[in-house]
Amino acid sequence: MAQFAMLYRSSDEVNRETLGSPEKAQATLTRWRAWFKEMTEKGQLKVLGEPLERSGTFVVGRKKLVTDGPFTEAKDVIGGFSIIEAPDLQHAARIASGCPILDDGGSVEVRPIRKFDL
């Protein structure tokens, strides 16, 4: 089994739509909790992860140029992450296809985690 990072991406519009009122936020969180529970019960979810703020800082290159986010070159912002376990990338993508963010117009980037021995 391998581990994969799932990076949850959405636009500001999707973020406003899904969290724009207490009722919408509660409905959205209910769907996410159900999905996390399902993955946990199947032994797939290894690290729940955390939601990320939509702002941040970006440090680039040898000169270490610092700019503020959100990042103009990206239409979608990473809003959070989780770590799952799956036999291969295709299976990890099938797991990601159940993510509630997809129903709202967001996306999930699935990336294999490279093992490092330090």
**How does residue 71 score in pLDDT terms, banded at 50, 70 and 90?**
low
Q: What is the predicted pLDDT for the residue at 7?
A: 97
Q: Give pLDDT tens digits for 95-113.
A: 999 999 999 999 999 999 9
pLDDT for residue 56 is more than 70: yes
pLDDT at 70: 58
Q: What is the mean pLDDT of residues 15-29?
A: 93
Crossing angle of helices 22-41 and 12-19, in 10° steps, is 100
Q: Residue 47's beta-bridge partner residues?
A: 83
- Other beta carbons within 10 angstroms of residue 60's beta carbon come to 9
List the domain boundaries for the chain. 2-112
Give me 49's structure tokens: 């992860």
- Would the pLDDT of 39 be above 80? yes
| pLDDT reported for residue 78 | 92
**Sign of the torsion angle spanned by Cα atoms 98, 100, 84, 41:** negative
Q: Is the pLDDT of residue 68 over 90?
A: no
Q: Which pLDDT does position 54 carry in this prediction?
A: 85
Q: Is the pLDDT of residue 79 over 90?
A: yes
**pLDDT for the residue numbered 2:** 97
pLDDT at 73: 57
The domain over range 2-112 is classified in CATH as 3.40.50.720: no
Residue burial 33-53, b: 16+ Cβ < 10 Å; e: rest: eebbeebeeeebbbeebeeee
Residue 72 pLDDT > 70: no
Cα separation, 18 vs 26, whole angstroms? 9
Given a contact cutoff of 8 angstroms between Cβ atoms, the answer to whether 107 and 10 are in contact is yes
